[in-house]
Structure 1
Amino acid sequence: MQRKKTTLSAKEVAVQLLSRRDHGEFELRQKLKLKEFSEQDIQQALEYCIGYGWMDDVRYAKSQIRQHVFKGHGKRRIQQELMLKRVTEDDIEQAFNEEPQDWFELAKQTAFKKFKGQKAQDQKAYAKQIRFLQYRGFDFEQIHYALSSFECDDE
């Protein structure tokens, strides 16, 4: 005996997706497109979710910031990820203002966790530490602060 497949509307699918976790508008739109809803149905579903406050790009960006900070990522990397997810610059800026971080201390913690507080033994090792922190999204001032903290502990 086969079950009859239930057909959900775009609104229902959107609400189901948002009940699991926050999604940005672009991300939710893509997921609804994959389910082959019409552009009109998708737009109505997004407006419905925004209208009830179930979807909010600033809240989504703040959630992403917290997740990335937990992973030891810097502001640059987080901004880049949010831009890829098509969150507007204004929403990103607002989210960063509402989720303030000490990027210098985060860079220091990230470096300490990775390198166990060990000062680089030569230029090649130092360059490797710099590249690691750059990839994580920290700027040069933050990297210098983080790595110079090793030197202070050594002396």
Structure 2
Amino acid sequence: MQPSNTALSEAELKSYLLGLLARRDYSERELAQKLRQKQVAPEVSETLLLWLKGRGYQSNSRYARQLIQAKVHKGYGWFYINQLCAEQGLEKSLVQAVLDELNVDWLSVALEAYQKKYADKPIADYQDKLKRMRYLQSRGFDGQVIQQLFKQL
């Protein structure tokens, strides 16, 4: 890549990418988007991303693991996490492998999210129950987990 007045050199781009990765992990798609914003040519971008992966600085599997663990810890369900990972450009097989490895108990995650939101407040009426069910659904839990949770309550 030839440096010019407006274009960054390859060394500057590497430094930029390493600076980003020093703060947090990024998916390959996020880094490609950052490079597009800097108007880096696609072939240069691809070369830089391969360089990062080859040196172990960027790893989609490491990023997926970190992202999934963080979202499970914050009380999000399978559907939400799956959608978020798809938006980040992570393959379904990778996401499923990480979820299988973590062996997440979705019922306990849903129960923690429910208790954090509603504590020990009793369900007032059917409308209140529906509202609470919609809350769990919006957090990405499936109907089966929600039904099991309400049976436990």
Which residue in the other structure is 1:64 paired with?
67
Which residue in the other structure is 2:56 paired with?
53
Q: For 1:52-74, what per-residue CA distance to the aligned partner results, in whole angstroms no more than 9, with x for missing partners?
A: 11111111111111111121101
Structure 1 residue 146 displacement after superposition? 2.0
Which of the residues 96, 102, 106 maps onto 2:105? 102
Identity %: 29
Provide TM-score, normalisation by structure 2.
0.88
Which residue in the other structure is 1:124 paired with?
127
Closer, same or farther: CA 8–70 of 1 in aligned 2, 3 Å: farther
Which residue in the other structure is 2:146 paired with?
143
Greater shift after overlay, 71-80 or 113-122? 113-122
Which residue in the other structure is 1:91 paired with?
94
Structure 1 residue 145 displacement after superposition? 2.2
Provide TM-score, normalisation by structure 1.
0.87
Pairing 1:14-93 to 2, within 5 Å after superposition: 14-93=17-96
Distance 2:79 2:88 in 1: 14
Structure 1 residue 8 displacement after superposition? 5.2
Distance 1:15 1:41 in 2: 16
Alpha-carbon RMSD across the aligned residues, in angstroms, is 1.6
Structure 2 unpaired stretches of 5+: 1-5
Which residue in the other structure is 1:11 paired with?
14
Moved over 3 A (4+): none
8 Å Cα contact 1:83/1:89 also seen in 2: yes
Distance 1:60 1:119 in 2: 39
Q: Secondary structure at the residue paired with 1:146?
A: helix
Structure 1 unpaired stretches of 5+: 151-155
Give the length in aligned residue pairs: 145
